[in-house]
Structure 1
């Protein structure tokens, strides 16, 4: 008998392309698909093909909790080929409820997750042995919390009994239900935001009165934002003025200290001005005590070229000259005659 080689697809080695969609014929490998135990898979056997792990879900509003669950499923074994089944809108609306995203949006969200190798569209709600055999699935990965749906207490109960179930851990604090709860809780905020972005009240299923209320609230918020912006600008302007004032005061203090220093150098007790004043006072005092004499070669007073000689007086009459001569006493005349 001819031995057939495995042609199972291998995990992607690049993340530049989205994951492929599963074909209707499922896995084309004709080699016998032997059943594995979890211990064998963790040891890395078989070596000629990857371990085919299946994870299913709704994946509405795809978030980090979904991505972390798929990451755990991808890293269960050394060589894992991860197939993700996504339920259609019809099944989801029938067994769980209305979704935010359509099935095509959910398919595309899964295709662009880095841990996914293949996306199976219109996945069944309950996994049958025929489905597992058709897609040659070795193990099913899901969180270990019993999932009650479609009249069953746990839709994965028969998978667990068959030894094909591998549990993953849920991420606390994030789920699709939590996200929807936030939207419902803050409905007014999101309705106002979408009205402001151009959506109509009909598209948002908002009544006429609520529409007017939301638009008024948006106007009030815009006004508050303008006031807040003006306050921020004013604070920034005041801060800049304070900075410039501080710089001016600092420069003024530096110039003042420089001026005072120069003043003290000039007019202080040991300043330059005191030395100059003392030198001048000394020169003036010495000049007053010992003035300089006249030069020896100065011209005589009567011949000085700087001063002209006085004009001669006119001769007086004889009568005036005799009248001016004083009379000598007689004694003096007698003595004069006697001497003669």
Structure 2
């Protein structure tokens, strides 16, 4: 069960086989797709696609390349579209100084308007930042009182920028360019990203994975990215899928039913025992003070387990390097 948190099914690239693209994604285990608008036309289309397909949600916004043409009328339409069913984010918005197709001033002005919309509607931002990290951080820090949430998509920045984004509460998303042969530097940055703050995305039709470069990308190819994360993190495929699905579900409020609570759960070669909801300790490091989930595992027990149930959940203890009692 995986979620493509950023693609552009509204593009003409998919006009001839959009139904088949979605079917292939479903066959590969993709359960939700967030179609991200990058123009006013694309945002309208994103809303329509969300209405048509059960597994598709919409994000609406204007790419920074188009900032110079954004009018007050367009901003008002974005606000109206944001109230439509299944709109889960504001984006793709942000700053792009690589091509400077719109002036830096106009990009910053428009980005701040989208921040205001996200704040008013309590929606997360899907942020595009290319060669604009300093201004991006300055703006987000200036707006810290709004307690914004969101994701920096198609991350291509430094470790320092990664840390700053995490520190202000944002998620990070890497695309299938993480699989490219010459992406060693990017993989080095990805390795230090905590999986609890990572999302998966294809950015389709762009950035097809290694082995398919030159061809159109699509949500079904998200499995290539999962495989890359397995190699980078040392976690299992099931871990990557569970953790990133939980992250996306939390950020975008997708109301996706996740796994039931577990008495015992594995992380790499260790087994953790989740034996009670009634722990009286108040450990400063305990994750339960912030959330009921750890690496996508639900720690909120339905009831207090019996000793026999705990022993059955452990199974053969010799399979593990260590067994950790928690809760």
The two structures share one fold, judged by TM-score above 0.5: no
The structure in which a higher percent of residues are helix is 1
Bigger radius of gyration among the two: 1
TM-score by length of 1: 0.23
TM-score by length of 2: 0.24
